[in-house]
Amino acid sequence: MKVLEGDYRTWLPLVGPTAVTIGVYDGVHLGHQQVLRSLAAAGMPVVVVTFRDHPLRVINPEATPPLLTSIDRRLEILAGLGVSVTAVVDFDDDFRMLAAEQFVEKLLVATLRARRVAVGSGFRFGHQQLGDIELLHQLGRHHEFDVDDVAIFEEGVPVRSTVIRALLREGDVRAAARLLGRPHRLPGVVIPGDKRGRAIGFPTANLAISPDLLVPGSGVYATYVTVASEMHQAVANIGKRPTFGGSESVVEAHLLDFTGDLYGQELCIDFMARLRSEHKFSGVDELVAAIRDDVVEARRIFGAEV
């Protein structure tokens, strides 16, 4: 997959015609995947126009949502789906001032050579978001490209990144995975913790997570953890560890049947199922008993997948 980055005005024109889709593509969920399949069926190279950061970071920073996927993860998934070109736009104040007509003429037509364009319902573009689907259709007729306005549903539920974020915040990682087409993945670097897990027989890897990424709601989860390309079964906890009087939320994972030093390594947690909510236990013995039950239930879930 070819990746276009930097100032879009320096990009060399593609060899057209192409089928183009535009959006944040956060999560690259089933809705996104259906759009990509429909564009691929047109028999032209598929081009995805996405953004390095969420446009709201410039338009309305306080409303910027946490991301389901970093830009590197998005590119990895898009490449795996057979996308020919991904154009990563730096949505800054200069790009924000680009009029809707200029966006189409300079980027979609002159550079990307679009002959088919697919966007989600409610798509807005250009300075002050004055461009809408109707204008895109008009410009398409003028510049000779077709426009598809796409709305995707899965089992009656709209497949949108906002819906998936809401499910993850509630801890419903299974429902989120159904809409994503894969488990939600959370990368992080292992940092030193207070070693309480090791003291009670369940050592955990404590992760530093990018503040830009969405962390599921508090609770205990059955997960897979990838370390140096090797996947391990694990039980992860997200929360403040109230039994020990914690005040700050942490993300920690206990890898089953694993020994080794993980400090400084990057782990990726794939969330399979929520086991229970986080709550305060009467003491360490009750907590240890609960963790043992968590491990048993997690192994049952992993076994059911075989």
- Tens of pLDDT, residue by residue, the chain (306 residues): 999 999 999 999 998 899 999 999 999 999 899 899 989 998 999 999 999 989 888 888 898 999 999 999 999 999 999 999 999 999 888 888 999 999 999 999 999 999 999 988 778 888 888 888 899 999 999 999 999 887 777 666 778 899 999 999 999 999 999 999 999 999 999 998 766 666 676 888 999 999 999 999 999 999 999 998 899 999 999 997 766 666 678 899 999 988 888 889 999 999 999 999 888 777 788 888 889 999 999 999 998 764
Superfamily assignment of 2-158 in CATH? HUPs (3.40.50.620)
CB under 8 Å to 86, separation ≥6 — which residues?
1, 2, 3, 4, 47, 48, 50, 74, 75, 78, 79
Output b/e per residue, 170-206; b: 16+ Cβ within 10 A: ebbbebbbbbbbebbbbbbbbeebeebbeeeebbbbb
Quick count: other Cβ atoms within 10 Å of Cβ 151?
11
Q: Say if pTM beats, i.e. exceeds, 0.85.
A: yes
Q: Where are the domains of the chain?
A: 2-158, 183-304
Spot the catalytic one: 252, 278, 286, 305.
252
CA distance 188 to 306: 27
252 catalytic residue (yes or no): yes
Hey, what CATH class is 183-304 in? mainly beta
pLDDT at 248: 79
Query: Which residue bears the tokens 């005040």?
Result: 247
